[in-house]
Amino acid sequence: MKRLDHWTLTLLGIALLTLKAHSQDMPLSMLLLDGEGWQLVSEGHGFTDAPCADDKGNFYFSDMRSMPPAVWKVAPDGAKSKLVEGTSCSGLKWGPDGRLYACVGKDKQLVAFEFPGSKKIVVAEDVQPNDLVVNYKGHIYITETGKKQVTFINSKTGEKRAVDTGITAPNGITLSPDQGTLAVSDYRGEYVWAMRVEADGSLTHKEPYMTMRTEVDVNAKSPDGRSPVYKTASGGDGMTSDVQGRYYTATALGVQVFDPTGRMCGVLPKPTDKSMTSCGFGGPHMEFLYVTCADKVFRRKTKANGNLFFLPPPKDAPPAKKK
């Protein structure tokens, strides 16, 4: 039997008490609104990814394969405009300094765009960034999928160091509402991994915290010839979380939703048969869940509200939780 350390047991207790105070369970009925389904936001793109939002109700995404590649802005009234052209970005997040940080794997760079004018500044070189999250301190965490590594970058000092290695294919990345837990999806595995964020930016107490569902492998046969065989790779891609402490992961099956203790709430089916790359909240009250799917972007209104990590966490945010 696996032994749990004191920190893990303490956080488990906090998680259970927090959930008991709000609900005994967090099914999808607590998230979804009757009559609200996926709505088309934008179409006709090459390959969409990198959903993110600001605190003014605007939503952003990247079209990585348009000619030229572009970052799009969707205003609260639905009006669309190009914010940046000429850079193919697989991850976007606003920072506390007002800059838009972007993963540019093609150039092995993490960059930042300054506005007005969209001036591009190189923040880190010799990296292979896939996705990122930026906290209110200006600390940046990127997934370097090919290196099986999570890398920490201090936007103020330029410090760069590996803070985790070993996940098969680290891809999506997000934080808990209090910014005390970092969650990372494994594209070629079945787990979302969770780690405690220390004051110096290092990560500790790594655990396989959430188990993602995978597709049935139609080409495999079970020993009894009747039971389904499931793929080992979930396709776990971009991630986000909400202020209630739920985690969301874009996968081959759809958006998989987990409660603060890592239990499965349910799966939101994809709005299209094409691949889903990421998910993120946006809107005036961060109430819309957006997903990027190949050449299109969709959203649906929810009962939840997303997090803006470039802002200090609310004092009453659910605490960081781990098994």
- Judging by beta carbons within 10 Å of its beta carbon (0-12, 13-18, 19+), is residue 1 exposed, middle or buried? exposed
Separation of first and last alpha carbons in the chain? 14
What's the CA gap between 257 and 264, in Å, rounded?
A: 6
Q: Is residue 321 part of a domain?
A: no
CATH number for the domain harbouring residue 40: 2.120.10.30
The dihedral over CA atoms of 295, 301, 305, 311, expressed in degrees to the nearest 10, equals: 40
Taking 50 as the pLDDT cut, the residues of the chain under it are: 1-3, 7, 9-23, 322-323
Is 309 a member of any domain? no
Residue 311 lies in a domain: no
Q: Is residue 162 part of a domain?
A: yes
Is 267 a member of any domain? yes
Taking only the tens place, the pLDDT of each residue in 76-107 is 999 999 999 999 999 999 999 999 999 999 99
- Token pair recorded at residue 65: 């394969």
| Residue-level pLDDT at 5 | 58
Cα–Cα distances (Å) from 295 to 48, 55, 120, in that order, read 6, 26, 25
pLDDT more than 70, % of the chain? 90
The residues facing 240 across adjacent strands are: 248
Residue 319 lies in a domain: no
Judge whether 97 lies within some domain: yes
The per-residue pLDDT for 8 is 52
Q: For the chain, what is the mean pLDDT?
A: 92
Total domains in the fold of the chain: 1
Structural domain range at position 13 = 6-301
pTM over 0.85: yes
Let me know: does 159 contact 152? Beta carbons within 8 Å: yes
Task: Tell me which residue of 203, 180, 207, 181 sits closest to 193, measured CA to CA.
Answer: 207
pLDDT at 25: 83
